[in-house]
């Protein structure tokens, strides 16, 4: 069985990234995909870019990665841009939009924010129509040679881990609504959501509709390594596991992993670097919640 670690949204938090990479190594996982937003918010964007480039098999572009290559007017953006330097900025600018991979006969697509753009955000509370659009081919994702759309889509950007399934609109047996494949609290309608509290996992066997079509789509958010927004101030990443031979229909698993790290050190590094907006960064990584201002 093949195992791939998926990380995202490090945002210049080097202690969090180091803790996650150590945890991945302890699990014997050698393949790592990164879903973008290496930079910003934290003080170690340059070091994070270098470490990601060294350790990750594939890296896609996030909105911060592209944005930091553009003209900066605010002090925080100017500071980050200067700390990165021209070579790293060129690396961030050329990162690809998405990754397509096959495991256990399932087509998996990974990108930062949505199938439309690195700047187009899909919130956890999005409509079913918006969620289904994540599985469509766009000018940004391209179209594979066989034209098949993905069975599983993973993304980052919102810093809130979750996983759910959606009924496949191509099924002739009729819609079955939206259901989570992880434990989660019941919400309005026929939907359950998982917020990735602690470590969770799920496995799916073969699900075939009576007409031979796929019987469900899986959508998940990997959460954030550096700046989680789900109220848990620990780094978050995912592990996907399946049969390496793409032609083999087999079980598939997705696991959320939370990793504690030295937050005091991360805060201290920001203040020592005299980074703009350090107080906001401190509040976010110590609480696990977004802060729009001090």
The whole-model pTM stands at: 0.86
Query: Given this model, what pLDDT does residue 294 score?
Result: 54
Alpha carbon separation from 206 to 24, 64, 166, 261 (Å, rounded): 28, 38, 16, 37
| Cβ-based neighbour number of residue 258 at 10 Å | 21
Name the residue with tokens 């907006």: 277
Q: Side-chain half-sphere of 197: how many Cα atoms within 13 Å?
A: 7
Per-residue model confidence as pLDDT tens digits over 14-69 = 999 999 999 999 999 999 999 999 999 999 999 999 999 999 999 999 999 999 99
CB 253 within 8 A of CB 243: no
> Which residue ranges of the chain lie beneath pLDDT 50?
172-213
CB 224 within 8 A of CB 156: yes
Query: Given this model, what pLDDT does residue 199 score?
Result: 38
Give the whole-angstrom CA distance, residue 97 versus residue 222.
16
CB 199 within 8 A of CB 235: no
Query: Given this model, what pLDDT does residue 246 score?
Result: 84
Query: Given this model, what pLDDT does residue 215 score?
Result: 58
CB 19 within 8 A of CB 44: no
Query: Given this model, what pLDDT does residue 147 score?
Result: 87
Query: Given this model, what pLDDT does residue 211 score?
Result: 41
Give the whole-angstrom CA distance, residue 219 versus residue 150.
10
Query: Given this model, what pLDDT does residue 293 score?
Result: 65
Please name which of 96, 109, 32 lies closest in space to residue 66, comparing C-alpha atoms. 96
Query: Given this model, what pLDDT does residue 196 score?
Result: 34
């Amino acid at each position: 069985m093949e195992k791939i670690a998926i990380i995202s949204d490090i945002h210049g938090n080097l202690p969090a990234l180091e803790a996650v990479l150590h945890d991945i190594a302890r699990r014997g996982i050698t393949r790592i995909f990164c879903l973008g937003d290496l930079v910003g918010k934290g003080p170690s964007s340059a070091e994070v870019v270098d470490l990601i480039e060294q350790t990750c098999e594939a890296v896609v572009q996030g909105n911060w990665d592209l944005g930091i290559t553009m003209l900066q007017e605010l002090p925080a953006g100017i500071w980050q841009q200067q700390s990165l330097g021209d070579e790293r900025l060129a690396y961030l600018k050329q990162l690809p939009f998405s990754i397509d991979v096959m495991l256990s006969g399932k087509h998996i697509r990974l990108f930062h924010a949505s199938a439309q753009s690195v700047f187009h955000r899909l919130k956890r509370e999005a409509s079913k129509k918006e969620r289904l659009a994540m599985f469509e081919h766009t000018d940004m994702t391209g179209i594979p040679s066989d034209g098949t759309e993905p069975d599983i889509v993973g993304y980052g950007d919102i810093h809130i881990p979750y996983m759910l399934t959606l009924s496949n609109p191509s099924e002739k047996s009729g819609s079955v609504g939206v259901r989570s494949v992880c434990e989660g609290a019941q919400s309005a309608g026929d939907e359950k959501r998982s917020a990735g509290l602690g470590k969770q996992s799920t496995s799916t066997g073969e699900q075939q509709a009576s007409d031979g079509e796929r019987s469900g789509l899986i959508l998940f958010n990997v959460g954030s390594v550096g700046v989680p927004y789900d109220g848990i101030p620990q780094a978050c990443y995912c592990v996907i596991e399946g049969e390496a031979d793409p032609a083999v229909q087999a079980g598939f698993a997705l696991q959320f992993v939370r990793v504690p790290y030295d937050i005091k050190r991360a805060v201290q590094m920001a203040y020592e670097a005299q980074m703009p907006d350090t107080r906001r960064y401190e509040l976010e990584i110590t609480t696990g919640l977004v802060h729009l201002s001090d």
